Every structure is written in structure tokens, then in C-alpha cells.
Amino acid sequence: MKIAVCQSNPIIGDLKGNKGKILAGYKLAEKDKADLIVFPELFLCGYPPLDLVEKKEFRDAVRKAAEEIAAVTGEVGLIFGSITETFEDNIGTNVYNSAILCFDGKIQFVQHKTLIPNYDVFDEVRYFESAKEISVFEFKGEKLGISICEDIWNDVDYWKHLRYSVDPIKKLFDGGATVLINISASPYAYGKRLERLAMLSKLTSDDKLPLVYACCVGAQTELIFDGASMCFDKTGKLCLIGKKFDEDYFVFDTDKEYEPVKEIEGSLAEEVTEALVLGLKDYARKTGFKKALIGLSGGIDSAIVAYLAVKAFGSENVHVVMMPSQYSSDGSISDSEKLIANLGISSDTISIQEVVDKTLELLKDAFHGKGEDVTEENLQSRVRGLYLMAMSNKHGYLLCTTGNKSEIATGYATLYGDMCGALAVIGDVYKTQIYQLANHINKNKEIIPHEIIKKAPSAELRPNQTDQDSLPPYDLLDTILKMYLEEQKEFDEISKKIGNESIVKKVLRLVDLNEFKRKQTAPVLRVSTKAFGYGRRFPIVQGWRK
């Protein structure tokens, strides 16, 4: 059987556009004389549609679009993900996350999703019921076993711990499936692709069935989908893989011999760089921004964000602003100027000092003679935010924030200051990983000036300040943060590992105390298994202490 995979980039809610992509892909499959073409999970409405699903007019429009698509199909089978609805009883939502199979002008078969994920960034139980039936569908001499994303992630033989008591793939296997098809929308995290490969390869070799695993690509606000759709033969060999971080269309022939695919996943720096460029590019494209703006401090974080923006927007569409104060080091401007030259981007330099001084003068009485403290530091950061937002408003720039994950975790960022912006581009990248990105970017030639990479990180908000005045060294900090944030470990276990209770206590307390700042952060592009934002939900007001 010749199965085309169309790994496209939908816009959530844009039914007209997404329908157009399905019809365009279908024409290619007809031209290629494929038997079947497959689109990813919920492709017609985009994933995740979130509370749009709760709107009846939206669901009606999705149903109408699905019927219109089915109406133009011919011999070639078409599978795409969509919302469907049954009106059978008065219990539950009656709404399903479904795979629709159509040909010969109508919808011929619908398989609902059985396993409804509801952890991390997934909230699907909020919207969808679980399938009551799982069955194969005979098509052109094969028995298609169709499943949706999570359905394939509960293999009893692969996992030590199961999330669900049902295994839909076993039911399809028992039902006599000869070809497995899984339509998916699985958000990117570094390392996940290799895990997918291992799991799917074992499953297909155990079941002795070929598998088409069709993934979507593109970014939807904070979630990035990396494409890399996979086709396995019945020995568990990966025969084809879709492009990473880009749209793709290709045809898999279940009867053909393939050379095994070798290149699965690059280094963290390589992969994360590509992921973030796509995240930034799609946010801008899907919201209509053409140009980006970054406040350049002379430090490594804003340098990396400027580089990513150049990759996403083109150098002619990236503008940076340098905003020195009395505490700025000499290097902050000269190093930035090197970077600006290397990237070929435009810039302004506007001092904040006068506005800071004028503001402090006007607030003097209201401060009641209290001495300098963090107020004056935050004020500098906020005047920079004031400038950047004014520039963004005036010229229609997308303002990128430059905080990394280590900073956002510990609250080492100023609310309404350097946290101003539409998208936290590197908010899921630890400081130690930022250096990896810099080295990767400089692999062939120096783009990020080495002066920027070498200097001690500093917010430059008071004389001779460095980050390490307030925080532990970044390698130690990031080790603690990773255990706390991504591995759900707590004080006892982390202290035991680190061997320093007071540092661990301090870091954990900083993370907890700064939940209020993260509530107000820009969306964070997700590249790890646990990013700040939608998939991480901690109370702002809470008293848990170990």
C-alpha cells in the first residue's frame, strides 16, 4: 500500500486555511497515485484548539468543513484529524478527537481517540470523551488500524508504568490490522524523538506490522511541533522520516524495501536552535508581525535572541536597542556593536540615565528618605521596558524577551522591565545551555563575539554587579533547577544529591516565591519536557516548605 504523509503546519481555528492544506495535499497524493494520504491529529482545527472546542458554532463549522473535504474525495483514501460530535445521549461532552477516513465523496469511517491525555500541557479530558469502540477498517485489501497520538503510548510491553488500563493498539492488532496508522500532535522536547523511535520500533517489530506515524509541524504560541513523521516496516526498521521543523510530504510504500534511516536527532544546541527559530517565526507569521525588536544588553542572552530573530525574520527585519546607564560596562556597547555588525542588523542607542534620574527625583519625597535598594535596580530595567514597548508600538515590532530558564526560575528578572515582550524566546533554555547554543552558532565562524561569551554574567544594575552575587554558579544552579522543575524532585532528594542543604533551600525558595512573576511572563517557547507556562501549574499563594 502506498501511503502519503502530509506533515503540514496548521493555524489553530483557521478552518479555511487548514482545509486548503488538506485539499492541496490530497491533489498531490492523487497525482502520485497513492492509495491513502494521512494528515496529523486535529489538523482541520489545529492542535491544541483549547476552549474553542466548547463553542458550538465552532464545532459546527469544523463539521461542515470536514464534510466539504470529504465531498471532493475520489478513490484515494484521506485520513485527517478533526473534532467530531455524537448526539447519542445526555451524558458527558459527546465530543471526540477523531481520525476521519473519507473517499468516494463521503466520510466512510471515524475512529475516535481512546486514550485522552490530561497531564503536563495536555488538557484533553476537558473536551473529549474516550472512544467507546476501537475497530479496523478494510481498505484496498488492507485492514487499517487507525489510532490517534496517545493511543500508541500505552504499550504494556514497553512501559514499566502505564497511564491507562486500555491498550488500543492491542485491540487493533487483535482485530486483524495489517497496517497501523497513528495521527499525532506531540509537542517538541529535546530527546523525545529518540524515545519515540525506540518505542515505535519495538512496537512494530513485536506486532510485525508496518506503521505510519504522521506528525504535525509548526508552533502554536508556546508549543512547538517538530514534524519528523516516521514510517516503519514490519521489522521495526525506520524506513522514512519527515523533515524536522518544516513542512513535508512524502510517500511510503509498505511493500518496498528501504535503507534504514540513521539521522534522527542532532545535538541539543542544534535541535533547540532550530526549534526556537520555528517557534519565533510561526508566532510572528501567524499573528502578522514582520519585524522583531530586542533590547541588547551586551550579555549572552540578548545576543542569542538577536541571532534567533535574524534566523526567523531575516537580518533586515531585526532591530536592536542599546540602552546604557551609569552602571553599564564599557564592553556593553562595544561588544554589542560587534554583534550588530556580525548579524547585519539595525540599531539605536538611547541612554536611560536621564529618565531614571528624573523619575527618582520626582519620587524622592514619596520614598520618605529610604535608602537605595532593589527599587532603583528595577527602575532601570523598567525604563528600558518603557523604551522598548514605545518602539514596538510605534513601529509594529514584535518585542522578544531575553530571559533564560535559570533566570525565570529564580525570579532574576524584572517584572514590566526585561520581562516586557510578546514571546519568551529562550525561557525554556537554562543558562548553561545558552552557552552550548552560542558555541553551536559560532561553529563555523564567530557570530556571537567571544567577549560576550567570556564575560561574567551581570545585570549591570549596580556597580560591579555579577549574577553570582545573588545566585549560585550556573552549573550548580541548573543542576538543582532541573531536578526540581523537570524531575519533580524535592528538597530531601536534591540536597542529598547536591550535598549542600542551604543552597538547595535558597534555590527552591526562590523558585516558589517567584511564581507570581511567571504568572505574568510572556509565553515561553517549550523545548524541554517541563517548561514554564501551560504545562506547569503551581499555586502562586502557598505555604509548602520542607
Question: Which residue numbers are catalytic?
Answer: 41, 113, 149
Does position 49 interact with its own copies (CB under 8 A)? The reply is yes
As measured in angstroms, the least distance from the Cβ of 263 to its own copies is 30
Does position 543 interact with its own copies (CB under 8 A)? The reply is yes
What value does the CA radius of gyration of the chain take, rounded to a whole number of Å?
Answer: 26
Q: Side chain identity at 203, as an amino acid letter? A: L
Does position 473 interact with its own copies (CB under 8 A)? The reply is no
As measured in angstroms, the least distance from the Cβ of 83 to its own copies is 12
> Using the rule CB under 8 A, which residue among 32, 247, 451, 490 binds its own copies?
490
Closer CB to its own copies, 311 or 382, in the complex: 382
Does position 362 interact with its own copies (CB under 8 A)? The reply is yes
Measuring CA to CA, which residue among 278, 332, 271 is closest to residue 300?
A: 332
> Using the rule CB under 8 A, which residue among 75, 140, 326, 538 binds its own copies?
538
Near its own copies in 197-216, by CB under 8 A: none
Closer CB to its own copies, 444 or 520, in the complex: 520
Measuring CA to CA, which residue among 143, 157, 263, 240 is closest to residue 203?
A: 157
With contacts defined by CB under 8 A, how many residues of the chain interact with its own copies? 96
> Using the rule CB under 8 A, which residue among 105, 106, 119, 235 binds its own copies?
119
Does position 374 interact with its own copies (CB under 8 A)? The reply is yes
Near its own copies in 97-116, by CB under 8 A: none
Closer CB to its own copies, 165 or 464, in the complex: 165
Grid cell locating 283: 508566532
Q: Which stretch binds its own copies (CB under 8 A): 74-82, 87-95, 301-309, 435-443?
A: 87-95
Determine contact, residues 117/124, Cβ cutoff 8 Å.
yes
Does position 416 interact with its own copies (CB under 8 A)? The reply is yes
Closer CB to its own copies, 262 or 368, in the complex: 368
Measuring CA to CA, which residue among 82, 148, 92, 145 is closest to residue 115?
A: 148
Residues 6+ apart with CB under 8 A from 488: none
Q: Which stretch binds its own copies (CB under 8 A): 184-192, 309-317, 369-377, 404-412?
A: 369-377
As measured in angstroms, the least distance from the Cβ of 228 to its own copies is 22
> Using the rule CB under 8 A, which residue among 24, 71, 72, 162 binds its own copies?
162
Q: Which stretch binds its own copies (CB under 8 A): 104-112, 133-141, 228-236, 279-287?
A: 279-287
As measured in angstroms, the least distance from the Cβ of 522 to its own copies is 6
Near its own copies in 336-355, by CB under 8 A: 348, 350-351, 354-355
CA distance 511 to 39: 40
CA distance 401 to 412: 13
Grid cell locating 301: 542572552
As measured in angstroms, the least distance from the Cβ of 134 to its own copies is 18
Closer CB to its own copies, 6 or 52, in the complex: 52
Say how many CA atoms lie within 13 Å of 253 toward its Cβ: 8
Determine contact, residues 80/43, Cβ cutoff 8 Å.
yes
3-state secondary structure of 264: coil
DSSP assignments along 17-28, one per residue: HHHHHHHHHHHH
Does position 217 interact with its own copies (CB under 8 A)? The reply is no
CA distance 122 to 119: 5
Near its own copies in 378-397, by CB under 8 A: 378-379, 382-383, 385-387, 389-391, 393-395
CA distance 219 to 227: 11
Q: Which stretch binds its own copies (CB under 8 A): 73-81, 266-274, 282-290, 445-453?
A: 282-290
CA distance 383 to 361: 14
Closer CB to its own copies, 459 or 522, in the complex: 522
Does position 465 interact with its own copies (CB under 8 A)? The reply is no
Distance of CA 46 to the CA centre of its chain: 14
Closer CB to its own copies, 440 or 489, in the complex: 489
CA distance 493 to 70: 55
Does position 425 interact with its own copies (CB under 8 A)? The reply is no
3-state secondary structure of 142: strand
Closer CB to its own copies, 300 or 494, in the complex: 494
Determine contact, residues 42/83, Cβ cutoff 8 Å.
yes
Closer CB to its own copies, 2 or 319, in the complex: 319
Grid cell locating 505: 533551600
Q: Is the peptide bond before 10 cis (omega within 30 degrees of 0)?
A: no
Block residue for cell numbers 472546542? 53
Measuring CA to CA, which residue among 45, 104, 116, 53 is closest to residue 75?
A: 104
Near its own copies in 56-85, by CB under 8 A: 56-58, 61
